[in-house]
Amino acid sequence: MFRLDGKVALITGSTRGLGRAMAEAMIAQGAHVVINGRSDDAVLAVAAELDLDGRSASGVAFDVADLSAGDAAIDTIVGRHGAIDILVNNAGINRRAAVEDFGDDEWRDVLAVNLDAPFALSRSAGRHMTAAGRGRIINTASIMGTVARPTIPAYVTSKAGLVGMTKALAVEMAPHGLTVNAIGPGYVATEMNTALVQDPEFNSMVVDSTPVGRWGTPQEIAAAAVFLASDEASYVNGQTLLVDGGMTTAL
């Protein structure tokens, strides 16, 4: 079960963090993964590191906020591999400020990367998937698409939008053989979160309010991505799978 042999996957934002863990997990299940990030050097380095057999990984660097670059990248991938079977809209950014100080540019940057790009890439990849009669779109949302914390209004709005977009695409694309789902990670101990893990107050907040009593690992998020990408998830559509140790279930 959960094999991805012969599948071609684009995972945006896969040079590190959750995206990289998803890439490793999908490669382990037999997929060819196209690594993405903004830097050519980082993309090529990670693709080379993961491509142990010469056919498991390649790279396409582009900024997902540049929607025409995203369209071109999808065409390049289909040109090279003949198909795109799995799209993971994973690249995401956050900006922090109190609502009254939150700048227009920061608001637009977050919405552009976290919401505009997933829509445009899904539209572009969706055309090829629809023509092929099969495909999987997986959006990395967040528990912040369901609940909220102060000082991250654009992030919360973008992730709630992504949860809604997941449903909108799921109902429209399923008749063409696609499924569209999202993953809502809780607090995951990625490199980016090292400072938070080491901050005693923040660490206690996470540990004490998570029923399983710890941060998540990137591999636990990657496992959900593999499941949603697999044939075994063929009847799962329009869902946001919260992988949060029960945090949003507890009061």
Ligand X SMILES: NC(=O)c1ccc[n+]([C@@H]2O[C@H](COP(=O)([O-])OP(=O)(O)OC[C@H]3O[C@@H](n4cnc5c(N)ncnc54)[C@H](OP(=O)(O)O)[C@@H]3O)[C@@H](O)[C@H]2O)c1
Which of 28, 42, 45, 72 binds ligand X (CB under 6 A)? It is 42
Q: Is the dihedral of CA 192, 247, 168, 29 positive or negative?
A: positive
The answer to whether residue 165 forms part of the interface with ligand X (CB under 6 A) is no
Q: Minimum CB separation from ligand X for residue 71, in Å? A: 14
The answer to whether residue 65 forms part of the interface with ligand X (CB under 6 A) is yes
Give the Cα separation of 23 and 219 in Å (integer): 10
Active site residue 155: yes
The answer to whether residue 113 forms part of the interface with ligand X (CB under 6 A) is yes
Would you give the binding string for ligand X spanning residues 174-213, x where CB under 6 A is met?
-----------x-xx-x-xx--------------------
Three-class SS of 189-209: CCHHHHHHHHCHHHHHHHHHH
Give the Cα separation of 6 and 56 in Å (integer): 10
DSSP 8-state class, residue 234: T
The answer to whether residue 63 forms part of the interface with ligand X (CB under 6 A) is yes
Residue of 138, 157, 108 lying closest to 226 (CA atoms): 138
Give the Cα separation of 65 and 187 in Å (integer): 25
Nearer to ligand X, 130 or 146 (CB): 146
Q: Active site residue: 155, 187, 215, 227, which one? A: 155
DSSP codes, 130-170:
HHHT-EEEEEE--GGGTS--TT-HHHHHHHHHHHHHHHHHH
Segment contacting ligand X by CB under 6 A, of 25-33, 47-55, 84-92, 122-130:
84-92
Q: Minimum CB separation from ligand X for residue 125, in Å? A: 15
Which of 23, 33, 60, 64 binds ligand X (CB under 6 A)? It is 64
DSSP 8-state class, residue 96: -
- Applying CB under 6 A, the residues found at the interface with ligand X are 12-19, 36-39, 42, 63-65, 90-93, 113, 140, 142, 185, 187-188, 190, 192-193
The residues carrying an active-site annotation are 155
